[in-house]
Chains A and B, each alone.
Chain A
């Protein structure tokens, strides 16, 4: 019986493992003005007719998806320079383009390449940034995303997040059972990897601050446990396996602790802090209400959480060392799942807006609430590491899909999935190079 189960799981793994882009992206709402920009196809010097990756296409697609740029079509370009010296600013002025990116990929040895690009301001006729980086066939896509990050930051003043990753959970019907997968992909949906899959539910993925580990809840064996899994090795550690609820893990900013929800035999869910090295746990709340969905403030001082101690769910915060919780949200009858922006200025939550569950962003100083999503069942908001954009789950014809939205609510995009139900997206921290 066990052998059969393993065989079936292995078969499912084969089926699910085929490489394809999980997410297609469409912009559902954008700001009026998008900066016209030209990303000229990169030059190529090396074996074969073309470079292993169309770097300019990746950069162009990144910038377009940001909702802030309108890359012009390649066929409209009057010239296709690959070095700064060949850029004729008059040609680009005529097209109304405000910035031009040129570059080239040079092969220096077997699977050793150099990706070089330059960004020019067409009006000032000046180089804004120029950069060169080594790459292999395996890392060239990341190099392209890094280039897009640098271009985006130079032109908007906001750190780019194109080289970051997103983790999410998918659920697919497979005959009589459902297959739940924990997936990590590049933020554009490429390069998808299944980290863990199970016929029992998987929930609540959370990144470690160094992006190397994911904490999550698994119901394998029909009970809840919290695991911490190292992405590179696949090794995983079961860090909580108490009776009743083991849920809602989130890493502390130093990566040494997890805030978790434990229910115990009597089923009173409370916020606990779990020291991963010392294997000690501290109970932070004792109220008989549901206290859950803990999340650290970036400075590590507070833990924000959901509690229905006032009747319906609202956001509270408590000192990370314990004390009396303070209520944070007052607008509306339902506010849950608080997540702080990495810069500590904004708080995202699930907010019931006249019968619709939507994502709202609260300014921590002013305490005012802005609804930024437009669905009826939106959930699981997670900030990008630049604090500018959020990702969350919404419903489209009954299936879960992911959307991103800027924290001001102005630019919203759908990341349409090709398989099953996609939910609980969490945006990774910035990569460390």
Chain B
């Protein structure tokens, strides 16, 4: 593990601790919050205490293990070449029950936005199922679909579309 990575992890832990100690845990029930300060100010509102700590990613795979799984057009089938990658993530999760991943599903920009949310989720679920059958537990995995809202590549050509049809495996604590 490189010095930079250790430093990043330390920073992450400190940031997380700071967030948790500075913010009282809010009511997890929906509440009528005054929306005074905008944007990121309410990201702690879910009661998970994580809040703004999301920007620093904790990635235990130390380099070579790919975090992004790409998909064919109109498909949520994991390509055979990617099954080994997913197996290694599954092994990491199975070996350490404290580890958590968030599967972020994405679609290319074509078509309707909310339907694309559905397509992104379908891809996340395909990866989730492979993780589950290889020993990860349901509690370790959450999914979110950003549809076409967070493109990895801008542009309206097949090259950009191919980079955007993806699931990002993110380790969260």
Binding site for B on A (CB under 8 A): 1-2, 5-6, 9-10, 12-13, 178-179, 194, 196-201, 203-204, 219-224, 229, 233-239, 241, 243-245, 247-248, 261, 263, 265-267, 269, 279, 290, 292-293, 306, 308, 313, 334, 336-337, 350, 352, 357, 376-377, 379-380, 395, 398, 423-424
Contact = CB atoms under 8 A, between A and B. Distances in A.
Contact of B32 (A201, A235, A423): A235
A196 B124 CA distance: 28
A237 B19 contact: no
A409 B97 CA distance: 58
A194 B38 CA distance: 10
A203 B118 CA distance: 14
Contacts of A1: 15, 18-19, 52-53
B128 to A, nearest CB: 7
A356 to B, nearest CB: 10
B112 A424 contact: no
Nearest to B109: A377
Given A5-B52, A267-B121, A290-B119, A234 B110 contact: no
Contacts of B19: 1-2
Contact of B35 (A10, A196, A223): A196
B38 A219 contact: no
A292 B46 contact: no
17 contacts: A1-B19, A5-B41, A10-B37, A197-B38, A204-B114, A221-B44, A222-B102, A224-B145, A238-B30, A265-B138, A290-B118, A336-B111, A337-B114, A350-B111, A357-B110, A423-B113, A424-B113
B34 interface: yes
Contacts of B63: none
Contacts of A266: 125
Given A1-B15, A1-B19, A350 B40 contact: no
Contacts of A10: 37-38
A269 B23 contact: no
B117 A234 contact: no
Given A266-B125, A293-B115, A313-B115, A198 B38 contact: yes
Contacts of A290: 115, 118-119, 122
Nearest to B123: A267
Interface in B122-173: 122, 124-125, 128, 138, 142-147, 149-150, 154-156
Contact of B34 (A5, A235, A265): A235
Interface in B11-36: 15, 18-19, 22-23, 30-36
A200 B102 CA distance: 16
Given A219-B146, A235-B32, A241 B115 contact: no
B42 interface: yes
Contacts of A293: 112, 114-115
A198 B30 contact: no
B134 to A, nearest CB: 17
Contact of B46 (A204, A221, A234): A221
Contacts of B31: 237-238
B50 interface: yes
The 10 closest A-B pairs by CB, nearest first: A290-B118, A201-B149, A336-B112, A267-B125, A9-B39, A337-B112, A221-B43, A248-B114, A238-B30, A198-B39
A245 B43 contact: no
Contact of A267 (B41, B42, B124): B124
Contacts of B102: 222
Mostly helix, strand, loop or mixed at chain B's interface?
Answer: mixed
Given A10-B37, A13-B39, A336-B111, 17 more contacts: A2-B22, A5-B41, A197-B38, A199-B39, A203-B113, A220-B40, A220-B42, A221-B44, A234-B34, A234-B36, A237-B33, A241-B30, A243-B142, A263-B118, A267-B121, A267-B143, A377-B110
Contacts of A237: 30-33
Given A2-B51, A199-B40, A245-B118, A224 B111 contact: no
A179 B119 CA distance: 24
B45 interface: yes
A384 B18 CA distance: 49
Contacts of B72: none
A377 B121 contact: no
Contacts of B109: 377
B82 interface: no
Given A267-B122, A267-B125, A204 B113 contact: yes
A336 B115 contact: yes
A256 B34 CA distance: 21
